[in-house]
Amino acid sequence: MKSAPFEVWAPKAHQVDLVLESGTFPMERAERGTWRSDRVGKPGTAYRFTIDGHGPYPDPRSPWQPEGVHGPSVVIDHDTFRWNDADFVAKPLSQAVLYEMHVGTFSPTGTYAGAIERLPYLRQLGVTHVEMLPVHAFPGTRGWGYDGVAMYAPFAPYGTPDELKAFIQAAHDHGIAVVLDVVYNHLGPDGAYAGAFAPYFTKHYRTPWGQAVNFDGEQADGVRAFVIHNALMWLRDYHFDGLRLDACHEIYDQGALHVLEALELEVEHLSARTGREYALIAESDLNAPRLVQARERGGYGLAAHWCDDFHHALHAFFTGERDGIHMDFGALGDVAKALRQGYVYDGQPSTFRKRRHGRHPEQVRPSQLVVFAQNHDQTGNRAVGERLSHLLDQNVSMAIAALVLLSPFVPMLFQGEEWGASSPFL
């Protein structure tokens, strides 16, 4: 079993103590604001830290929070799980059918083990990639996962870290790749102790959900490393085949090397070491080709991004709704344009935004746009969580599904959409 000395990044602290069940032990300051202890953490060891007498707090890089986000961190050993997926090769996005899945509601048990039982169904359906809503630890026992605070620790109510790995192994056994939704634009408000350790947040920007993450201010190098190492951990140690990067339009970075481009570079290096291909898929409503354009053309080089305009054009035309963002859509011509190029807004004025929006998707390949008629946001953010099957006749819903699946882009289904689920997603 592996063991390693405890360390934590706390660049502005004057004193950091390691708190174990056996007592409290002072740590020594090392390079670049890192603090280290000569005590070794074996798998199963519970620990916390105090910062200048405050705390104790869980580790910002905690690998496991079995007692929840306010409890102690626990050491794990990634090398004890026996993988046998060396021969698995994920289908390229040009041949993919994505399926957005929320572990907590995908099976009666709401666990990784329960989700494993339904993998044969997904394979028979024709799904090539499961896209899991976030599983990094968040407060409470139920939620979507977008208020996560322990970014390195899988959400305990879904199962143990090894049970998450077992799900991914089982998916690979069925020929299905697994993409994880990760949130790097903010942390949740409850249990976000990272700010006690270091300037993880900035006052220069703000997201709709709270403080923005500090990617370009003082001590930003450590914050960028925190995020990039987190992404590499999910891909390397848990064998995820890709990441969906939540709300990239709320990731603010004015530096010369944008954190998304830096992340793509590091993932390419990991791919070279492991021999596996990984896909980084951005969520963005900017209609900005630079997300997926090659770096030699000034882009970030990501594999793909979600195309919200495709959803908005279909939804507004078929439902007749014109509230919020849908006021910019509704014409049949919008549907036609979405089917041709994905972006409906490619530089013209937007009534909703009260400014021009988007840019022409020059040299954006169809395999770089993920399209959908429903997803967790567009369903769950409605007042009572109605799906399209609640709003439209079955024949119309089937026609919309055909437009998604037969479009030139990468189609994504939202769990239950394929059979017109009657349950709302709240």
Hey, which residues are catalytic here? 246, 283
Show the 3-state SS of 66-119: CCCCCCCEECCCHHHCCCCCCCCCCCCHHHCCEEEECHHHHCCCCCHHHHHCCH
Contacts 24+ apart (CB under 8 A), 93-97: 93/279, 93/303, 93/304, 93/367, 93/368, 93/370, 93/410, 94/365, 94/366, 94/367, 94/410, 95/128, 96/128, 96/129, 96/177, 96/410, 97/126, 97/127, 97/128, 97/129, 97/405, 97/411, 97/412, 97/413
3-state helix, strand, coil in the chain (%, to 5): 35, 20, 45
Whole-angstrom Cα distance, residue 27 to residue 37? Answer: 5
Who's near 259: CB < 8 A, 6+ residues apart? 184, 215, 224, 227, 228, 251, 253
Residue with tokens 């055909």: 402
Helix axes 332-341, 308-319, angle to 10 degrees: 150
User: In the structure encoding, which two tokens stand for residue 196, read together?
Assistant: 């006690």
Whole-angstrom Cα distance, residue 108 to residue 348? Answer: 46
Return the ∠ at Cα 134 (arms to 110 and 62), rounded to 5°. 100
